[in-house]
A and B are shown apart, each in its own frame.
Chain A
């Protein structure tokens, strides 16, 4: 509305001003777009709320900021942060690998493989992660030894489960396998989103199925795989807090150990919040880098159609 009036006043002004060529040409590139009243009111409200939040965080003595500062870089906290990061990265890599294999099985024409993958997805998505972690941690109770050999035959090599399963391996196993079940569906969706004709075009230049998959299909599927995977990584970073139930000394466990002794609950939780925010901000950055990389060819810049010579 306001825009239109700018233009029309400019047009009506033309006859009255001397017609020098410069004044005659309208240029909307420098036009002003005034905000509406409701937006101005909205801005005021948002600024007030933000100011109140900052004031609340600073002025409220119960946050005990000096205590937060004391513990922020404490060795126990940084160690816990390291464990959280290691668990996130290792379990996520494991989850992506397991998920990719499961997705390929789900989409294959090999019936037994497809059914096995379906059972895996069903079992690991239907049960709570907490219970899965407890089972992996207590694996030795159900399965005292782990051995390699033919089923029902004499084992070739054998280990005691209790030597293999410590809180860390139990956490990695549990988180990777649970993650794999969710990643399988994300991978499948991404692979399905690539135009089927791209398979034909890859075959047409003589590519093998493996070449076509890794060079042509996966790079295009990544555009659709990355955003939901970003989600998964973020929830994984926080889901690692669950491993404190199996006595894994992650960031939350470290914080809990301290406040159980000192009773400074709020400031120590704020320490954990701070580090989770830092970690997840880094993940944001990585995700946007990856998205930019895999959107190659899709940033629709100037489409050249003027050049239509038959040369």
Chain B
């Protein structure tokens, strides 16, 4: 795969190498390789059941791998080397590694018993040890960035889906993650609310945030992503520069997929 868009060789922030996962006899991920460079926006597309969500859930250690390895800044995720063996890390160590990655879920999953501000401040105060005042300032800043300053004291069930997802993005950003992962961030939204969320994600892309976005929005992938990954049956079938790959697919499979969704 040639990297046509990269001007200078950038640092690889997140690496998946030969990642494999099964659910019983069903192969969810089959030797998947993926590098994410600093400042890069990678869109993962593909039919449902192709393993896109499983891949980013594995990157965030919400699912366990069965083969291969994932590295964040060259640190092996989920395991430590002991002599010639890999030992699984305990829950505390895994939690420490997870702080470096942000995740935005399809169903938002805000904490319904906390206000918008408390949702955003929870991670910084409880996990990173920030002061409440600092976390509050950060929450105000992030809410302004996602255009929701006026809803700071609302509870999640009082917000529309689009607003909830924008709060979820602010909550993930509050942890200052090295990479932000999105698991179909607009799939649970009413069509008229998709735009406001994609606008926030596009703004983050322009600001140089490193992101991996699993999405069904081909237009968004073309506009906002540097690189697009097409997955099918747990494998990476085609990848390359977002604009040229989507305009002129090399494989029949991607061409068929694009003709179906566009």
Contacts and interface: CB of A to CB of B under 8 A. Distances in A.
Interface in B165-194: 171-172, 174-175, 192-193
Contacts of A215: 122, 126
A32 B1 CA distance: 75
Contacts of B250: none
Contacts of A207: 95, 123, 126-127
B163 A307 contact: yes
Chain A interface SS verdict (over half) = loop
Nearest to B114: A297
Interface residues of A, number: 33
Interface in A276-300: 294, 296-298, 300
A129 interface: no
B68 to A, nearest CB: 21
A309 interface: yes
B113 A205 contact: no
Interface stretch (A154-162, A196-204, A241-249): A196-204
Candidate in A205, A298, A309, A311 with the most chain B CB atoms within 10 angstroms: A205
A300 B158 CA distance: 6
B62 A203 contact: yes
Interface residues of B, number: 47
Contact of B157 (A202, A220, A300, A305): A300
A20 interface: no
B91 A206 contact: no
A305 B175 CA distance: 28
Interface string A209-234: 10100011001100000000000000
A308 B127 contact: no
Given A201-B103, A204-B62, A205-B127, 4 more contacts: A204-B172, A296-B114, A296-B155, A303-B160
Interface of A: 195, 197-198, 200-209, 211, 215-216, 219-220, 294, 296-298, 300-305, 307-311
28 contacts: A197-B105, A198-B111, A203-B60, A203-B62, A203-B98, A204-B62, A205-B99, A205-B171, A205-B172, A205-B174, A206-B95, A206-B96, A206-B175, A207-B126, A208-B91, A208-B92, A209-B91, A215-B122, A220-B112, A294-B113, A296-B113, A297-B156, A298-B157, A300-B157, A301-B158, A304-B158, A304-B163, A308-B193
